[in-house]
Each structure stands twice: as structure tokens, then as C-alpha cells.
Amino acid sequence: MDEIVVNLGFGEAAMAFAKPGARAFDRKTDGPEREAKLADYAAAGVVPCESAAEALAGAGAVLSLVTADQSLPAALAAAPFLAPGALWLDMNSVAPDTKREAARAIEAAGGRHVDVAIMSPVHPKRLGTPLLVAGPHSAAGVEALRTFGFTNVRSVGGETGAASAIKMIRSVMVKGIEALTAECVLAADAAGVLDEVIGSLDASEQAKPWAERVDYNLDRMMRHGQRRAEEMGEVTRTLAALGISPILSAGTVKWQQSIGALGIDPPKGLAAKLAALGARWKEPGA
């Protein structure tokens, strides 16, 4: 396999994955941050390129590691310079539809698009960071990534966007919990009850598999959603009085209310609950 290029992006992830001797190009090379970016290239031992065309010339595989807003523009800009059959390893954190749009551009230019999802922070694991791979060229993508040095790569099969869907939907929980943390502790601190709130959370925390936790949470919402919505309405008023915008708490009111209002007697088991909720969500006007 020909050289892998860290293309149109040499930020935190690209630097964590950098392989000495590989070519690299970042659009910041053309701006006021040029000297800092050249220093990044030197520290990583990669070969700096002055353009995407130079970086991509003859490359058999490309690591696309740009910011989310540049994911599609990077693919569109790079497509004309790809070698025939080159693998475009799309490792960007974007929606499945964005990956599919990029895939159409790459495939039209004769390249092979691979949907890759980075499933944890890149530090400290670096090349041990877990990666999920999907799309019609996933097998070739897995092989290329392993050849590059990645040690925790798994194909999830499916069409382009399958790996991205897993990452995006998981982020609802992971990044949502982070945001809820901020909303909770800022309010607790403003009210002067931070230690008590954290102590209460410790006392109520129970380590359970996520499937059990999800089943339990849905059960509570189906049984008591409307009452809980009313309680959360009081929570939003509490936070507002403290000068903390209840952004997520207001959303919680809507979710509790909408599920509680369905009037579903919770069936036993997660699959049955999801089926019951899914059926209602698909009803006309729901």
C-alpha cells in the first residue's frame, strides 16, 4: 500500500496519529498560523506539503482529519487530486448524511470512501484509539488502518454512515451528560449547595449495565412522565432564579411530558418498551 497522507487537517487527532515520514497538509499552512503549523509538522516528523495536490499525489490512502464544518469541503476539494482507487478514510465527526455526501464526491472521482468513527479521545491511546469502520470498502479500510499502525479497529459492516451513526447517537448520551453536569453544578454552586448535591448524587449512583439503566429510565418516564414534567418545570424555575439558563432541563420537561402523555402501561423488557414507543412515534401527527 502506498503512503498514507494526513490530509487537510493536522490538529489534535492528526498529531496523535502522525506517522513519521508520512505527508501532511493543513490549510492553516497558508495563513497567519503557518509557522506554528510548520512546527507541528516538524515535531511529528511528517513531511509538510504546500498544497492538497502535493500531499495527495500518488497516495494510496488518505486520513481525513479536519474540523466537522470542513469535512465535506475537504472531500470536495481533494477529490480531483486523488489517485485512482485511493482510500479516503473519512475520520471526521459528522452526521451520516455528511459522510454519504462526501462519499459521492470521492467515488465520482475514482476514489474509495471509507466511513471511520473515532470512538474515544485520542489521548492517551493514540494509535490504540478504538475505530469503527463502515461502507462498501470497509475491509480495505480496516487493512489500511492496521497497516498504518492502528491496533483497535473493527468493521461494523453496513453502508456508508453506519459507523458515523453509532458515534453521533452515542454522543447524545456522552456529550449530553457533560452538558447536564454543567447545568447542574453551576446551579448548585450558585445556590451554595454544591457539596450536598454531589453527595446526594454519589449516594444514589448505582453501577448497572446501560441496557438495564435505559429500561429503568424509560419505565419511569412511561409511568410518571407527566408528574415528572411538572417537577422539572419547577427545576427550570429554580435554575432561572439563580441566573442559570435551564436549556437542558427545559428539554427534559418536553421529553417527560411527551412520553408520559402517551399513557402506555410499560411492557416488560427494553425491546418491548422501544417497540411500544416506536409505534406511537410513527402514528400520523405524532
Q: Which grid coordinates belong to 245?
A: 439558563
Residues 6+ apart with CB under 8 A from 246: 183, 235, 236, 239, 240
pLDDT at residue 1, as a whole number: 45
Q: Which three cell numbers stand for residue 16?
A: 496523535
Q: How many CB atoms lie within 10 A of CB 82?
A: 23
Tens-of-pLDDT digits for all 286 residues of the chain? 456 787 778 999 999 999 999 999 999 988 898 999 999 999 999 999 999 999 999 999 999 999 898 999 999 999 999 999 999 999 999 989 999 999 999 999 999 999 999 999 899 999 999 999 999 999 999 999 999 999 999 999 889 999 999 998 888 888 888 888 878 888 899 999 999 999 998 898 777 888 888 898 899 889 989 988 998 898 899 889 999 999 999 999 999 999 999 999 999 998 998 898 887 765 555 5
- What would the grid cell of residue 264 be? 402506555
What is the C-alpha separation between 156 and 101, in angstroms, rounded? 20
The answer to whether 107 and 84 are in contact (CB under 8 A) is: no
DSSP notation for 226-279? HHHHHHHHHHHHHHHHTT---HHHHHHHHHHHHHHTT---PPSSHHHHHHHHHH
Q: DSSP letters of 93-128?
A: ---HHHHHHHHHHHHHTT-EEEEEEE-S-STTTGGG
